[in-house]
């Protein structure tokens, strides 16, 4: 099996991650933040360590503003729905995934916000210049996909963050496809809300993500229930992180995120170097094959390569590759506006995506299969 | 270690559950319902099997109306927030956990619904007679905690379900503390929404639950994002279960729920018999100790026993037991109105709770520790 669908979820998880999950199930199965016995406290401490680890890695201001969620989708929903401002205006881009678009369009449909979706001048990068002209007096938030899950194109979060800071606009960055692949500094980039997926570049198991919050604007909770705090009250308490994390914590998932993050920190340089090299190598090899259209630019060496075959639909190519035990993603990748922007909304695209565990041989195998297509 | 805090989370998970999680991480790590390759399809099939298994076990009408959530809290939020009817009236009881109370009071605080919280005539059971007089013309939902997480007291869901059916009122049952402990038949009991926790009586790992839906009223989604369906649209699709499950499925957690449910099905009679016997034995042993007040009735043999010591606060007793390596839960158990009802809102109560893996010796150890308290 050649697994080239790591942008959907990284297939191979580091041994440390498997070990962390096993420890969580067999030795730490208790309710952290609820009961006061030693096992519950030990588990709570491990969860607190994970919070601190994420806080340090992304340079978030305060560990209590690292909110564990069920995944990046919930993180984005919390940031978008939790800060919704009646009569306000939000700017997002065609690069957005449906996990940002759908909560935003839900708010727009209900008449709560107005929404501007911008298209960038260059397909490789969304810049400050693409965004700035669309800012209105009532713009309260800008949403950016850091790295596109379709083709690896980028957003200049540094300069857009600066712009947001200057204009006093909230900045939400969807790092589903970048966290773990490259270092993100929330304070340097003036990011108010950073949404991360656990199970992709951070090598955790599925079922965990985080929303990291900087600045004074805290979202309202979107889920209500037991927090283990102020239990005498029938109203949701205000204190973070508990007010956002109603219900029993997903200890195995959270501890897998800690282990995954530690793996990333240990192999940080290697991961970046490897993914860049594999992306470039793939683009260069694809270029040699007839009838292949490549959508990923050589400027965007982000572990994702998007292409099509002129004679076939993306699903047909993916099915053919599947018959050779090569697993890729086809279709729209839940990013409809990006496909309209690329003109691929009818065919979809074939996406291959790497993790630390891929190697040059995987690409050679893929390329030789693609040569067979007539 | 004597673990008697299984109502918070079952500590020991069956070997089959650990095995299922390992399989999910090491062999099935892919994105079900997204990619079309064999691994993704194989994983999707296992998730569909889990859906069917839950559907059959709880006698839900359709497997696609079994919604996976991050836990019982999200299930209750989906049922309560997703069906909220402006100007409508909801009836709940003092037995409710904050996971029901807080979303309900949030709706009431925002002027969306009016709310009646009933107190039962008898502390052992909430009956149809406790509810019926409070029904108004605009009552659209009744919420019942099936078994109280504080003291194991019950709600007569059979007759209240019947009443709801006759009056055309939606019936939401919080089965956090009953699912897995006793069989629940959704159709027989006219339950529209059944909220279950994975990690308690169903022996799954933390981070998974389900909302099972019967009848024609489907809640609106409360979370928006990628569903792998109708990806060309920026609006949330309508089809269940996908419209409720935006984001990557928590495969390890969901497959652990399947394994946990299979364990429960295999040991069904034994679990019920054992928990009844342990509960009765504990009540009888506690009765012999001076200064102990028992809150759990002999009529409610549901694996939960609540008590206090006349001389000490519940936290002091729990701390003392912790020093003897006996793990219990003290305080309010996230059920404030139940404690006000029992008059224990200042002291809390000491709660012990069993799973299949407890035995008589655990109780003897607890009892002998309690005799030491002077």
Whether A364 has a pLDDT exceeding 90, the answer reads yes
User: Cβ separation of A31 and B21 shorter than 8 Å?
Assistant: no
Which residues have C-beta within 8 Å of that of residue B298, sequence separation ≥ 6?
B280, B283
Interval A86-111 mean pLDDT: 98
Sign for the CA dihedral angle at B344, B345, B346, B349 comes to positive
DSSP labels for A22-69? HHHHHT--S-TTT--SHHHHHHHHHHHHHHHHHHHHTT-S-GGGEEEE
Q: What is the DSSP string of B325-347?
A: TEE-B-TTTT-HHHHHHHT-TTT
Nearest residue on chain B to A19, judged by CA atoms? B22
Q: Is the pLDDT of residue A109 over 90?
A: yes
| pLDDT at residue A35 is higher than 90 | no
Which residues of chain B have a pLDDT value below 50? Answer: none
- Note the pLDDT of residue A288: 98
Out of B72, B105, B337, closest to residue A235 by CB: B105
Rg (CA), chain A: 21
Judge contact between B24 and B255, C-beta under 8 A. Answer: yes
**Interface contact A349, partner B, CB < 8 A:** no
Q: B25 — contact with chain A (CB < 8 Å)?
A: yes
Nearest Cα of chain A lies from the Cα of B135 at a distance, in angstroms, of 22
| B144/A contact by beta carbon, under 8 A | no
Task: Give residue B35's pLDDT.
Answer: 84
**Predicted complex ipTM:** 0.98
A9 part of contact set with chain B, CB < 8 Å: yes
A206 interface with B at CB cutoff 8 Å: yes
> Is A205 an 8 Å CB contact of chain B?
yes
Domains, chain A, ordered by start: 2-10+268-371 (3.90.1150.10), 15-262 (3.40.640.10)
| Residue-level length of chain A | 374
d(CA B229, CA B240): 11
In this prediction, residue A34 has a pLDDT band, given cuts at 50, 70 and 90, of confident
Nearest chain B residue to A28 by CA distance is B11
CA–CA separation, A163 vs A126, rounded Å? Answer: 13
pLDDT (0 to 100) of residue B329: 97
**Cβ separation of A40 and B199 shorter than 8 Å?**
no
Return d(Cα B56, Cα B158) in angstroms, integer.
19
Quick check: A33 pLDDT over 90? Answer: no
Find the CB nearest B225 among A77, A109, A329. A77
User: Nearest-CA residue of chain B relative to A207?
Assistant: B250
Nearest CA in chain A to B319: A37
For chains A and B, CB pairs below 8 A equal 311
**How are beta strands B350-353 and B304-309 bridged, if at all?**
antiparallel
A300: contact with B, CB 8 A cutoff? no
| Nearest CB to B225 within list A73, A231, A321 | A73
Q: First vs last Cα of chain A: how many Å apart?
A: 23
Residues in chain B closer than 8 A to A22 (CB atoms): 18, 21-22
Helix (H) or strand (E) holding A265: helix A251-266
Strands A304-309 and A292-294: antiparallel
Interface of B with A in 28-87 (CB under 8 A): 29-31, 34-40, 70-74, 76-77
Closest CA to B178 of B276, B353, B95, B302: B302
Helix or strand (DSSP H, E) at B34: none
Reported as a single tens digit per residue, the pLDDT across A232-286 is: 999 999 999 999 999 999 999 999 999 999 999 999 999 999 999 999 999 999 9
- Percent of chain A clearing pLDDT 70 (strictly above): 100
> CB contact, 8 Å: A251 with chain B?
yes
User: Nearest CA to CA, how far is B118 from chain A (Å)?
Assistant: 15
Nearest CA in chain A to B352: A35
How distant is the Cα of A186 from the closest Cα of chain B, in angstroms? 24
What mean pLDDT value characterizes chain A?
97
Q: Give the pLDDT confidence score for residue B215 in this predicted structure.
A: 93
- What's the mean pLDDT in A101-121? 98
Contact A252 B205 (CB under 8 A): yes
What is Dmax (Cα atoms) for chain B? 70
The shortest C-alpha distance from B236 to chain A (Å) reads: 6
pLDDT for position A244: 98
Give residue-wise pLDDT tens across range A152-182. 999 999 999 999 999 999 999 999 999 999 9
CB burial string A117-138: b at 16+ within 10 A, e below: bbebeebbbbbbebbeeebeee
Query: How are beta strands B139-145 and B88-93 bridged, if at all?
Result: parallel
pLDDT tens per residue across span A45-93: 999 999 999 999 999 999 999 999 999 999 999 999 999 999 999 999 9
Residue B34: the pLDDT is 85
- Given CB atoms, is B215 within the 8 Å cutoff of chain A? no
DSSP string, A65-77: GEEEESSHHHHHH
* Chain B environment of A232 (Cβ under 8 Å): 332, 336, 339, 345
Separation CA B359–CA B87 (nearest Å): 50
Q: How far is A12 from chain B (nearest CA, A)?
A: 7
Please give the backbone phi and psi of residue A128, each rounded to the nearest 5 degrees, phi first.
-55, -40
Cβ–Cβ below 8 Å for A207 and B208: yes
């Amino acid at each position: 099996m050649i697994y080239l669908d790591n942008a959907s979820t990284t297939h191979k998880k580091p041994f440390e991650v498997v070990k962390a999950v096993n420890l969580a199930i067999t030795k730490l199965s208790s309710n952290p933040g609820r009961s006061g016995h030693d096992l519950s406290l030990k588990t709570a401490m491990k969860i607190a360590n994970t919070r601190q680890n994420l806080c340090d890695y992304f340079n978030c201001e305060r560990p209590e503003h690292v909110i564990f969620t069920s995944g990046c989708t919930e993180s984005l929903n919390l940031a978008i729905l939790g800060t919704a401002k009646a009569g306000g205006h939000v700017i997002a881009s065609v690069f957005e995934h449906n996990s940002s678009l759908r909560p935003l369009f839900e708010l727009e449909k209900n008449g709560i916000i107005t929404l501007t979706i911008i298209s960038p001048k260059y397909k490789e990068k969304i810049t400050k210049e693409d965004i700035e002209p669309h800012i209105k007096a009532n713009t309260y938030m800008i949403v950016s996909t850091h790295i596109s899950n379709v083709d690896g194109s980028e957003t200049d979060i540094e300069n857009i963050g600066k712009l947001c800071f200057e204009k006093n606009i909230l900045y939400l960055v969807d790092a589903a496809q970048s966290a773990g692949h490259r270092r993100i500094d929330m304070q340097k980039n003036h990011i108010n809300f950073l949404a991360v997926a656990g199970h992709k570049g951070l090598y955790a198991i599925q079922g965990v993500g985080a929303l990291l919050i900087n600045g004074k604007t805290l979202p309202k909770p979107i889920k209500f229930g037991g927090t283990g705090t102020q239990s005498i009250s029938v109203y949701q308490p205000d204190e973070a992180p508990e007010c956002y994390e109603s219900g029993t914590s997903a200890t195995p998932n959270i501890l897998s995120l800690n282990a995954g993050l530690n793996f990333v920190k240990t192999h940080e340089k290697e991961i970046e170097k490897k993914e860049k090299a594999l992306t470039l190598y793939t683009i260069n090899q694809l270029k040699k094959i007839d009838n292949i259209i490549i959508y990923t630019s050589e400027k965007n060496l982000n572990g994702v390569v998007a292409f099509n075959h002129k004679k076939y639909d993306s699903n047909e190519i993916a099915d053919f590759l599947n018959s050779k035990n090569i697993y890729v993603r086809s279709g729209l990748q839940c990013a409809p506006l990006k496909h309209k922007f690329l003109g691929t909304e009818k065919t979809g695209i074939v996406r291959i995506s790497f993790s630390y565990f891929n190697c040059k041989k995987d690409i050679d195998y893929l390329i030789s299969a693609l040569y067979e297509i007539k």
